[in-house]
Chains A and B, each alone.
Chain A
């Protein structure tokens, strides 16, 4: 496992906190500020968890450090900072399970690997079933998971009530809880810290992070399309608001705008972009010990260590780039939450927001090579991108460094839409947090 490579004085620990507190010295910057250079070996578009992790593993695992990570806004300001910070690996397909399980493993050791406390809370993850068919899908997932040695099982309402006393498990409710898929290794994490940890880790190896640097075009030569872009072409760099950059490898690690960025290289993606809304309540003393998901009621909820309830739902049913929250989302959310936990009616909703999700036809990502040489994608992450950040970065870095697609990435290739080998994660991902 790679370990944090920063200067000893930058290393986080209780002892350093005390020593700096006594000597009243300050901490160094977590990542540096740089002038934009005119050439990098690898340019990564998007300073979210995917882009930063890719940069980190390129440097840490493969020694590729002449890397720039560009973001039009601030670091971690897109989906990486807007998600509900749930991690798990109990997916529906063997391909999905193997992939997310590796991600979970990286999350498990992240605090030590990156020397930053990402507050991974392995509190258990429950996906409730209110109908026969939902219960059948839960069992399907459990059976696939067990064959992959993932800790995942279907439990009955009594066990659900024991694990989460605040849930109404009586059979008399409008949508009785018939059972649940229980996944003890699932949990929550402090999402921002993951972004910062990768940024700080990558910076220590010499990777440059450029915030407020918008990519306005991708430079491609020799392609079949207009301006030499598109299939058959070769990437030569990017045009940004901070100047032009030459690079042989450009990686699209954006979410929300993935299809727009790819179109700059002449690569079409089968993606539609939908908003996903979330909300948080005022804090109260902790009472909800696990992550609770209900597909039938379109809601998932967890309680942070700060005491807030964090809610999310499924993506809005229409495609848009707007990130404004809607009233009906909060109404539906509240009624469904109260269906599950009538006792929280006096809690107050503090804030609602939305993020953008790039949805593919099979609810699985598009990763790796594209028809434009040197232009790579790590996109199409729908509502599950955060969970997959670490493994995506690790595997994309390997792909860039070796020039070959790692086994874990093979199912998610751009080619699969032409070949018809879709990866059916819809059942686990639709409200699968």
Chain B
């Protein structure tokens, strides 16, 4: 049993399970609550009223709204900071700790700031801590200790988060009477409905209402729960509405994951978020014991917790009157009811660790430990703002109303207007029907948008007009700031005085005052603070609230964990079909974008020597590959590459360079002609995705008339390069039906053949390494078989695998450049020495005008030149990216782009971009090493360090 001192006897609407006690600790003290309690109600039932300390002045703070939006109920639970104690349910064994207190919640040293509050006006930190400048880092450290919030545990174990997609006809944000009615009405019209409720239970404000309210709530909930077209998500929030009703839902209660992000494409969105009760600004309005009417009723009616002993109630509406009744029922003595509708007012509240007395408008003092206010509402219009609506302020009702949201976003409930519960239900029903009918039209139009095998029946339906009877708008007293100054933003500790001072200092628009004082920028995102901020500013400037305007509500509606947004980590890792073989044979893996490649098998230099002397195999599967098929394939190739393609013979292969529209080199590779209208294009490994998108972009936006298809097939083939003087002999042992002689199958040709018994292999005679080589593209499922056959048949020929590093060395020995390494974001074609490749008499090609200008003028730009460079000391290998400078200066005239020690030449070799004046062979340049040492190097003649004439490649 629970003997908590503030627990009331059974209440009709209570959501606690008195048979299931829950043991937990708060601030190091053991306590007991019941299943169904929130952390705050459980602590409160134990008679505690201080939950936190304010950010700046470290004033004690207690329950204010007693729900998710309560700014004073942020606690730490284990590794989780900033838990909303007014919302999160208590669980057995939970260790709940206060945040932002030192040394303790009861006695906080920084509360001394409260004594000097008059010096710590808003923005005071902008006006001091400037001198001496040398002390600023120290000041900064001290200021940082005032950062609010809990602590994260960086070593916390990984937890599972989840994501889900849903496509519904009608999505409803808010499970109060209007939302529930709308859900049932929409479902009865045949719509699929998702109903999302922020709290743990459906029913909205009916839950803490009178017996009639409870009965209606149960009835509506029953209707929703028994309708199979309605999916209900509780403890979930529609956090965002993006273009075309793309909505995000943060689902917090799940058996299998911490949280989940549900992404919904809703044909209609119904916003039934209700209203949020707004605090009043007055002196002492942040003392523990000052709370909103809704908070008191939730404590009493849902959790059977007595909020205090003796109350002053300030009421301006029915809700306030109902609060008085609820307090009386709970045995709270009503010291005074202050009715704002009769012109009565509250002046201030005072006390040391909570309210002990209340000063009324006539300055009479009433002793009380509770001051409860029900003075009006904030309309949480965030989702409507996100849909492009600009809500309008209605002064007679003292709140904002929607203006003109898109027709697929409908508003109901308190956001839309006032009325009896019956009227709210009726409006909800009409809204649900309208949303369902509009969703049906959208569904029809979606079906007819694209050709279908079976077109939907009927003709295009009319767009349903909005014939709902609008809800009324009740007058409500405009109450924002009372007779005194007080806190406007609880989580930021910003007072109305701060706002006025800021306005006086020229920060007099709502955006500037927000930025200057940080009011509305805390975790409540302005739900309690924005309207009061605007009102205080308006009053001070003698303007109307509508003139001052409001800040833009931005997503998310409620803060959402990074874990939920990220979901399960899903970034594909791509492996070659040979990966396991590599790992079993000493391969050292490396990350190459999405791909994992093999850098080496232990000794890259030896891999180079063996390939040059015998024969080597490298797995080049990640190489980008695309089939380009159709009669206009050559036209597409001419559009993408700088060179010509119209006369490529069957079986021919050509090297091509692509430039972007600035004439900057973006990719290179070989393309071969396999049949009359089938070409296979290869791209760089890193460029595969980019080139595919680039090609599709041209095809879809500029050249839709081309009859050609592009099929990216990178992973469909295992690509094996067989390189070295013995490669022909090795290939001849495993290849059927292909004459490998130089005459029948010369360099820069492509054939299809049967390799190691696998038909439909594509065999290229090309080479990046500078050796006689064949590149075999094997249907990926047979990749391992072919690889192993090649190794088995070449043992006597000295066959051995080599990795990416050996390939890089060999291509550098051969002087081949790598796009993106030896070129950069400004490298136009002439730098690479391949300007002659460009054939600009084509009707069109990507980057043609820029190339025209870059190659044939009048462009005066002096293109840097890619040259071979040999350090004077053959043992020194400069790091790649080392700068080349004019001797004796720091003037940069080039840089080393590639650099390796060549095992073949037994010396260091480099590629470098240099200014044209330094490109003449024999020129000596100065290279600055990373440690600052300067060395000399000389520009070498020609385009390759090794086999300039290409005899070995063509042999």
Contacts and interface: CB of A to CB of B under 8 A. Distances in A.
A350 B506 contact: no
B129 A117 contact: yes
B130 interface: yes
B928 A27 contact: no
B150 interface: yes
Interface string A401-433: 000000000000000000111101011000000
Interface of B is mostly: loop
A315 to B, nearest CB: 15
A77 B156 CA distance: 39
A94 B662 CA distance: 22
A119 B853 CA distance: 48
A29 B505 contact: yes
Most chain-B CB neighbours within 10 Å: which of A327, A339, A361? A327
A142 B931 CA distance: 11
Contact of B147 (A18, A77, A136, A283): A283
B582 interface: no
A1 interface: no
Interface stretch (B89-97, B393-401, B783-791, B821-829): B821-829
B201 interface: no
A241 interface: no
Contacts of A284: 81-82, 147, 149-152
A327 B263 contact: yes
A116 B127 contact: yes
Given A21-B118, A136-B821, A137-B881, A165 B154 contact: yes
B566 A327 contact: no
A143 interface: yes
Nearest to A190: B126
B126 A144 contact: no
Nearest to A93: B892
A143 B591 contact: no
A26 B126 contact: no
B76 to A, nearest CB: 10
Most chain-A CB neighbours within 10 Å: which of B127, B240, B509? B127
Interface stretch (A37-45, A329-337, A366-374, A375-383): A329-337
Interface in A246-288: 281-287
Interface residues of B, number: 102
B825 A346 contact: no
Contacts of B363: none
Contacts of B895: 140, 143
A12 interface: yes
Contacts of B509: 74, 211
Contacts of B155: 343
A136 B154 CA distance: 30
Nearest to A195: B515
B143 interface: yes
A61 interface: no
B694 to A, nearest CB: 13
A36 interface: no
A172 B150 CA distance: 30
A133 B820 contact: yes
A150 B297 CA distance: 63
Contacts of B523: 282-283, 348, 350
Contacts, number: 287
B932 interface: yes
A63 interface: no
A28 B151 CA distance: 39
Interface in B311-338: none
B662 to A, nearest CB: 6
B158 A420 contact: no
A419 B858 CA distance: 9
Contact of A335 (B243, B567, B879): B567
Interface string A120-158: 111000000011110011011011101110000010000
Interface string B70-82: 0000000001111
B152 A287 contact: yes
Contacts of B591: 130-131, 175-176
A286 B147 contact: yes
Contacts of B126: 12, 116-119, 190, 193, 196
B743 interface: no
Given A30-B506, A143-B881, A343-B156, A74 B147 contact: no
A282 B399 CA distance: 27
Nearest to A331: B565
A344 B565 CA distance: 12
B778 interface: no
Contacts of A326: 242-243
A334 B152 contact: no
B386 A324 contact: yes
B532 interface: no
**What are the 8 closest A-B residue pairs judged by CB atoms, nearest first?**
A307-B147, A343-B154, A345-B563, A334-B565, A348-B559, A420-B861, A12-B127, A283-B149
25 contacts: A12-B127, A13-B131, A14-B127, A14-B128, A21-B119, A30-B505, A143-B881, A143-B882, A147-B892, A192-B515, A281-B559, A284-B152, A287-B152, A306-B518, A325-B242, A327-B242, A327-B248, A331-B566, A334-B562, A335-B570, A346-B80, A348-B523, A420-B854, A420-B860, A424-B825
Given A116-B130, A284-B149, 5 more contacts: A76-B515, A117-B129, A132-B590, A327-B240, A345-B156
Interface of B: 79-82, 116, 118-119, 121, 124-131, 133, 136-137, 140, 143-144, 147-156, 158-159, 161, 240, 242-243, 246, 248, 258, 261, 263, 386, 501, 504-507, 509, 511-512, 515-516, 518, 521, 523, 525, 554-556, 559-567, 569-571, 573, 590-593, 662, 686, 820-821, 824-826, 853-854, 859-861, 879-883, 885, 890, 892, 895, 928, 930, 932
